[in-house]
């Protein structure tokens, strides 16, 4: 049973992070797990870990799957001080983002016990190396300021093809996130997208994921269902348009990888891609 902390005040504990890193990346023309393709001279997932640490995370859980042993080896090659605090969860079947996050629940068994305090958790994609620690700090601040159960950072981009759309009501409040392939023609015209920058109350996340049903078309469990479910239950969900359009560039091909690598290296005078 997951402890539920709806009525607790804002967390003062350090946040934790779950990074989804189980995919193959079928269009990369490589047998490597997608997150091991290099950006800034390191596996791209390292940049996501860096951003989480910039935002105060002492523990980072990588959800691995495809050729997971290669991910273990690549992370182990990083400096020991950097590797400290990284843990793993395994997604043995690729059943969607919601399923991937649920696979990490056992790692947080101690945090989820009654009386352990309210803990915030980032949930992020391991193939988004342009993420900035400053954006995560802004997201966490908004999340805690409003004592939200879920918060997400969105982006307005010119070409939203492939991204989940942020659907709002007439007053501009979030209604739901709709995956691209599930969008109506009207929803396809929405330019505000979901780049998968989430912050949740840890206990609320897992108690809600337990109620997510398989999508009838894909057969997958979507974490994008969670915010709408929480809103239906009357819980607080915050949304901020805080992600620069450049930061949500997709990496699905070697050409896109090269483009993102060039942007990442330009951000630091030393060429190592440090975020500002």
Active site residues: 27
Q: Where are the alpha helices (DSSP H) in 146-179?
A: none
Separation CA 230–CA 227 (nearest Å): 5
Are residues 71 and 35 in contact, defined by beta-carbon separation less than 8 angstroms?
Answer: yes
DSSP 199: E
Separation CA 263–CA 266 (nearest Å): 5
227 CB-contact burial (10 Å; exposed 0-12 / middle 13-18 / buried 19+): buried
**Could you give phi then psi for residue 43, rounded to 5 degrees?**
-55, 135
Separation CA 27–CA 8 (nearest Å): 44
List residues bridging with 200 in a β-sheet. 121, 150
**Could you give phi then psi for residue 138, rounded to 5 degrees?**
-65, -40
96 CB-contact burial (10 Å; exposed 0-12 / middle 13-18 / buried 19+): buried
């Amino acid at each position: 049973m997951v402890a539920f902390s709806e009525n607790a005040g804002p967390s003062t504990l350090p946040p934790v992070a779950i990074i989804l890193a189980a995919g193959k990346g079928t269009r990369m023309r490589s047998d490597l797990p997608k997150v091991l393709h290099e950006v800034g001279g390191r596996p791209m997932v390292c940049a996501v870990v860096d951003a989480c640490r910039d935002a105060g995370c002492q523990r980072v859980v990588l959800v691995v799957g495809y050729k997971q042993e290669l991910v273990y080896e690549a992370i182990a090659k990083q400096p020991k001080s950097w590797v400290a605090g990284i843990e793993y969860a395994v997604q043995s079947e690729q059943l969607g983002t919601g399923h991937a996050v649920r696979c990490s629940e056992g790692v947080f068994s101690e945090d989820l016990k009654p009386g352990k305090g309210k803990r915030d958790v980032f949930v992020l994609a391991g193939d988004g190396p342009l993420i900035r620690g400053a954006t995560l700090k802004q997201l966490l601040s908004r999340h805690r300021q409003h004592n939200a159960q879920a918060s997400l950072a969105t982006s307005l981009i010119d070409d939203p093809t492939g991204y989940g759309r942020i659907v709002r009501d007439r007053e501009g409040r979030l209604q739901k996130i709709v995956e691209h392939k599930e969008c109506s023609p009207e929803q396809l015209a929405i330019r505000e997208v979901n780049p998968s920058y989430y912050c949740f109350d840890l206990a609320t996340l897992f108690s809600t994921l337990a109620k997510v049903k398989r999508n009838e078309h894909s057969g997958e469990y979507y974490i994008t269902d969670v915010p709408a479910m929480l809103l239906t239950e009357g819980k607080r969900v915050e949304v901020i348009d805080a992600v620069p359009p450049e930061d949500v560039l997709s990496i699905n091909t070697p050409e896109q990888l090269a483009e993102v690598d060039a942007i990442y290296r330009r951000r630091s005078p030393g060429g190592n891609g440090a975020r500002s």
